[in-house]
Amino acid sequence: MILGSITGLSACLKAENAHAQMRDFKKIRPVIAAVQEHMFPKNSTLPSARSMHTIDFTEETIFHHTYDKDIRTFVIAGAQELIAREERFLSYGPAQKEKALRAYEQTGYGSNWLARIMTLTMEALFSDPVYGSNINESGWRAIKSFGGIPRPTTRYIA
């Protein structure tokens, strides 16, 4: 006999907070997307951030209840800080972006934030395609390494 439901306990998200954070995120979404595209450009041996829609993955990931809420706050705040330092970041060419990001990296805060964006983008490129990025397993094919069998059919073991 097995008693008890088989669905797990879903962590509850503080709703008011999430709404305000989503508004903030939407404002700096293009900044994060631009940083990801700079880190994972076209014509690289890895698929580009843009072609893999890593920004959509990032949005969905950080707002999922399984994501550490402190890190979510940090992802948003770090982008706000970047744009406060470099107001015209979005219109910069690649060389200017490189300079701006390397300067940001000189601060401990900036270097942590860039590492976090790197982690999120790598998670996008190399997680199962069920999460929306790594389209047609392009990330996996580039490195000839593939996720194990069975593959997930839903996100986060839902």
Partner 1 sequence: MMKQPLYDAVIIGSGASGGAVAYTLTKAGYKVAMLEKGRLIRREEFSKDELAYCRRDIVTPNLFDEYHVIEQKVDGKWEATPTYDSGWSFWNGNIVGGSSNFMSGMFHRLHPDDFRLKSKYGAIEGANVVDWPISYEDIEPYYTMAENIVGISGHYKPHPFEPPRSTPDFPQPPTQENEVVKLLDRSCRKLGVTSLVTPRAVLSQDRGHRKACYYSNFCGSYGCSSGAKGSSREALLPAALATGNLTLMSNTHVKQLVSESKTHVGYALAVDTITGKEKHIRGRIFIVAAQAHESARLLLNSADKNHPDGLANSSGELGKNLIFSGGGSGQGELHRDALKHISFDALMQTGLFVNRSVLDWYFIDDWLEGKFKGGSVEFMFEHQNIISRALKHNYDGEKLVWGKALGERVVKRFREQKSIRFEIFNDWLPTDDCFVSVDPTHKDKYGMPVGKLRINGHPQDVKVGNYIAKKCEKILEEMGAKNIYSSVSNAPAQNLVAGGCRFGDDPKTSVLNKYCQAHDIPNLFVADASFMPTGGSVAYTWTIYANAFRVADKIVEVLKKSEV
Instruction: Report the interface residues with partner 1, using CB under 8 A.
Output: 1-9, 11, 38-41, 43-46, 65-70, 102, 105, 111, 114-115, 118-119, 122-123, 125-128, 130-131, 140, 142-145, 147-153, 155-157
Q: In 3D, which of 69, 56, 27, 26 has the Cα closest to residue 120? A: 56
Whichever of 91 and 153 has its CB closer to partner 1, that residue is 153
Instruction: Report the residue number, 26 or 120, with the smaller CB distance to partner 1.
Output: 120
Rounded distance, CA 129 to CA 113, Å? Answer: 25
Whole-number Å distance between alpha carbons of 149 and 129? 13
Residue 26 or 112: the one with the smaller Cβ distance to partner 1 is 112
Which CB atom, from 30 or from 147, has the smaller least distance to partner 1? 147
Measured CA to CA, the distance from residue 78 to residue 137 in angstroms comes to 30
Q: Please, are residues 131 and 124 in contact by the beta-carbon 8 Å criterion?
A: yes
The rounded Cα 154 to chain-centroid distance in angstroms is 19
User: Comparing C-alpha atoms, which of 14, 39, 59, 55 is closest to residue 118?
Assistant: 39
